[in-house]
Amino acid sequence: NAGVTQTPKFQVLKTGQSMTLQCAQDMNHEYMSWYRQDPGMGLRLIHYSVGAGITDQGEVPNGYNVSRSTTEDFPLRLLSAAPSQTSVYFCASSYSSIGGEQFFGPGTRLTVL
């Protein structure tokens, strides 16, 4: 049981490049989410999903896309990276958004030059 896994752990991009941050969970959780963590800003919700085929926007969705084709995977796509997207990204999963504990992945540290 690996829990929530994220790849890569570190990534450096140039402005305008695209990439996908991978997130997978093996706990059969319906709810998955992406947060970004910046100094002094806490964790801000980017996108979330309450089940396969269902996604919705969080607090800071601009510049990011998500899809949820399976229960296990919830990739986050940066279409055209910008320096403002330099951050640490955390994926989380929970059996439910209603009162459920979120289990967090180890994070991806992204730098956009």
Partner 1 sequence: AQSVTQPDIHITVSEGASLELRCNYSYGATPYLFWYVQSPGQGLQLLLKYFSGDTLVQGIKGFEAEFKRSQSSFNLRKPSVHWSDAAEYFCAVGGWRDDKIIFGKGTRLHILP
Q: Name which of residues 42 to 71 contact partner 1 (CB under 8 A).
A: 42-45, 48, 50, 56, 58-59
Q: Is 22 in the site for partner 1 (CB under 8 A)?
A: no
Q: Does 75 sit behind a cis peptide bond, omega within 30 degrees of 0 on the bond before it?
A: no
Q: Which of 23, 81, 105, 112 binds partner 1 (CB under 8 A)?
A: 105
- Is 94 within 8 Å of 45 (Cβ atoms)? no
As a residue count, the chain comes to: 113
Q: Supply the DSSP string of 71-93, one letter for each residue.
A: SSB--EEESS--GGG-EEEEEEE
Minimum gap (Å) between residue 73 Cβ and partner 1: 19
Q: Where along the sequence are the contacts to partner 1 (CB under 8 A)?
A: 31, 33, 35, 40-45, 48, 50, 56, 58-59, 90, 92, 97-99, 101-102, 104-107
